[in-house]
Amino acid sequence: MSPLLFLLYFFNVMAAISILFFRKKQVGSTLAWLLVFAFVPWLGFLLYFFLGSTRKLRLFRRRFRPNPRLAEYGPSPGENARALLSGQFNLSSQGREGCRDLMLLNLQGAGAVYTQGNSARLLVDAEKKYESLFRDIEEAQETIHVLYFIFKTRDECGRKLLDLLVKKARQGVKVRVIYDTLGCFKTHKADFDPLLGAGGMVYGYLPSPLRTVLQVNYRMHRKMVIIDGKVAYTGGINIGDDYLGKDRRITPWRDTSVRLTGPCVQQVQRQFIRDWVFLDSQAARPYVDKIDSSQSLEQCMKEENTGQVGVQIVSSGPDSLYPYTKESYLGMITRARRYLYIQTPYFIPDDALLTALRCASRAGVDVRLMIPGVADKAYAYHVTMWHAGELLRWGIPVYRYPGFLHAKTFVMDDMVASIGSTNLDIRSFDLDYELNALVYDRDFALECRKVFLQDQEKSRRLTREEYQSRPLPDKVKAGLLRLVAPLL
């Protein structure tokens, strides 16, 4: 045996031991990786290093922590928890009285500070989102922070946004942009030259080609814009003409975003600062003009209450100790008493989520799932359909939207709605950086429920007969591809 093969075999065994005893993931994922090590012993370690392990990323990110003074601005999770437990927040209005335990779950896990005095506006398509976003950017006076998984600079809407950012940068507004280098593989760094020339700052995740290769399986999947510390946007909508339904292969396109104002904007700003500091700290040529985290958060704190809405911003990623967005979804599923309506483009859950959905349905909760009727990824479609069959066996309705449904929304009991970037799949929970806004407000939840029911009227309910009569090749693909999902 050559020294190289011996070394690979040694690392293969060590990786197997690490997975078996130290990996905090579902059993299915652990067993799947052990099978890879058994059948491809020379390549198993390399595959796991590039595609499965998150330990190296956690160690890497610890070297580049944001300014520790971030904790000085706004309430700490501990203070916020004490305020919730002591009754300092008035939760008796707008349907929040039954959500205290959900708030504490997100707070004590993800550190998601709960705020009141916010406003939230639902945006149910890209046209409405872009119109509102561009108007707010036009009025920016101090800062514009932009982070998108996909930023198609050569599409019409991408060019319009880029031109607008260039204009504001020339006016002296601090413009910072983060985009995912693989999510935007058709976007070139040179496309941002006009913005850089105007004084704007741009980072791709990840800016270093070597580090991109080493972390190729982790994606910056968040979508957020923060303007002057006053307005924040998040949800499922990226920047591209296909989100406007202009891609003939995937149309119509249905998506959801939310516009937030009030104290919760500080929490979105805080996450952007963390992401920016991480990228800035590892860049080969970091910007001289550093982000002033204290000034950015003080800017948010000066804003007065803009409404009566309660909001939590829940973030997670491959560097998180636990999948906090998944825990948030589980919290909603297990606390639902009357109904739970879910929209997701990809339904690739683990056993915990499937069990929670089954138990909720058996307990009398009206659980409904809506998935796309038009697929954008064949792999995800087949695995989604396999898991949809599980729900059908338990009597849970599954609806197929007549187009591509990209919204990632949960609405529960006229009390709370979650809108964000997190798909209901294993990749989003373990390997992608995600951000969700949980909105605690009866009127907002009722609006989300109304939108779901309107989409349901357009959709086609999947029957067990239709599901079982799928072509044999589709059944085979679904059965085989579902085995790959836990590897991610």
Residues known to be catalytic: 221, 223, 228, 406, 408, 413
Rounded to 10°, the helix 100-110/77-86 angle is 160
The answer to whether the beta carbons of residues 440 and 115 sit under 8 Å apart is no
Q: What are the C-alpha distances in Å from 138 to residues 75, 167, 395? A: 31, 9, 49
Cα separation, 287 vs 268, whole angstroms: 22
Report the largest interatomic distance among the alpha carbons of the chain, rounded to a whole angstrom.
71
C-beta pairs of 6-10 under 8 Å, 24+ apart in sequence:
8/41, 8/42, 8/43, 8/45, 8/46, 9/41, 9/42
Residues 369 and 397: beta-carbon distance below 8 Å: yes
- Beta strands 219-220 and 432-440 are parallel
Q: What is the dihedral of CA 38, 40, 43, 47, to 10 degrees?
A: -70
Nearest to 297 by CA among 322, 264, 345: 264
Q: Report the C-alpha dihedral over residues 132, 137, 143, 147, rounded to 10 degrees.
A: 60
Residue 216: how many CB atoms within 10 A of its CB?
13
Report the alpha-carbon angle 324-326-327, nearest 5.
60
Q: How far apart are CA 235 and CA 222, in angstroms?
A: 8
Helix axes 126-138 and 156-170, enclosed angle (nearest 10): 10
- For residues 100 and 323, what is the distance between their CA atoms, to the nearest angstrom? 21
Query: Which residue, 350, 380, 381, 456, is CA-closest to 411?
Result: 456
Sequential DSSP letters for 386-444:
HHHHHHHHTT--EEEESSEE---EEEETTTEEEEES--EEHHHHHTEEEEEEEEE-HHH
CA distance 402 to 380: 17
Distance, CA of 329 to CA of 417 (rounded, Å): 10
- For 181, the token pair is 């280098």
Q: Is the peptide bond before 486 cis (omega within 30 degrees of 0)?
A: no
Task: State both tokens at 224.
Answer: 């957020």
Q: Are strands 432-440 and 416-420 parallel, antiparallel or unpaired?
A: antiparallel
